[in-house]
Amino acid sequence: MNKPTGSNADATPASVATGNGPRHVAIIMDGNGRWAQQRGRPRLFGHHAGAKRVREIVEACPSLGVEYLTIFAFSTENWKRTQSEVAGLMSLFRRYITSQARDLKKNGVRVRFIGDRVRLEKSLIKMMDDLEEMTRDNTRVHLTVALNYGGRDEVARATKRMARDVAAGKLDAETVDEQTLTRYLDTRLLPDPDLVIRTSGEARISNFLLWQSAYAEYEFIETLWPDFSPEVFAGIVQNYAGRDRRYGGVKNA
C-alpha cells in the first residue's frame, strides 16, 4: 500500500507542474457500510457520509490537473443488497442530484451517467437526463457517475447494439476492431482512465471499467470512502506521477 504523501491539496503538486499527473481518475468508492458499522450506525448513515465527500473531491480536481473523474456509485451487482438499502441509495441519488445540480452547473462541472438506465425508476432517469442537459456546456471538470453500472454488462449492451447495426447493414462486420467496440460503450466520449483508486482495503475491481482500464494504474488504499479527503487524493495523484507506464514496451526505448 502506498502512503499518501501530499499534505496540502491547495499547493500545486509536482505532477501538475510536470504534466505527469493523471488526466482521468476513476474511483471505486467503497467502505461506507464499514464506516457506519464502526460507529454503531446503520449502513445508510455511511452512504450519506460518503455522498458528502464527493463534492470536495470533484472540487479538488482542477488544482490536481485531473480533467475527468469517474465514480462508481452503484453496481449491477448491488441489487443483491436488502430492499431497504437499495431504496435508501436510490433516494440518496435523487436527493444528491436535487441538492447539487445548481452548484455543479455554476462550478463548471459537466455531469454524465454511465450504466444501464432501464432498471432505474423513471423519475430518477428524468433527473439524470436533466442534469446532463443542464451541465452540457461545462468543461472545468468532467464528472461521470456510474449508476447501475457493470463492465461486463456494458460490453454486452455495446455488443448487442453493434450486432443490430450489422444486421441493419449500417456496420460491416469485417471492419470491427477495438476502436469500433469502444465507440459503442457508455464511455465513448471519455478517455481511458489513467488511474483507478479503490478505497477500503479491498484489492479487486468488482466489474468496474473492465475494458477501459486495460492499462490503468491501480491504487488500493485502506481509507474508507467517507474518510477520503482532498489531501489523501492529492497524495495518490503525486504517487502516480512517479510511476513508469510502459504499455508493454521497454523503458526509454
Piece of 23-31, 35-43, 73-81, 121-129 that binds Mg ion (CB under 5 A): 23-31
Name the binder of 100 from Mg ion, ligand IPE, none, CB < 5-8 A by kind: none
Residues between 203 and 232 that touch ligand IPE (CB under 6 A): 204, 206
Q: Which long-range contacts (CB under 8 A, 24 or more apart) does 125-128 make?
A: 127/94, 127/97, 127/98, 128/97
* CB 112, CB 144: distance < 8 Å: yes
CA angle 191, 193, 194 (to 5 degrees): 115
3-state helix, strand, coil split of the chain in percent (to 5) is 45, 15, 40
Please give the positions annotated as active site.
30, 78
> Would strands 141-149 and 195-198 be described as parallel, antiparallel, or unpaired?
unpaired
Residues 51-90, mask of contacts with ligand IPE (x by CB under 6 A): ---------------------xxxx--x----------x-
Which x/- pattern, by CB under 6 A, does the window 11-40 give for ligand IPE?
-----------------xxxxxxx------
- For the CB of residue 29, give the shortest distance to ligand IPE in the complex, in Å: 5
Q: How many CB atoms lie within 10 A of CB 82?
A: 9
On whether the CB atoms of residues 228 and 199 are closer than 8 A, the answer is yes
What is the smallest separation between the CB atom of 67 and Mg ion, expressed in angstroms? 27
Q: Judged by CB under 6 A, does residue 202 bind ligand IPE? A: yes
Out of 16, 24, 27, 30, point to the residue binding Mg ion (CB under 5 A).
30
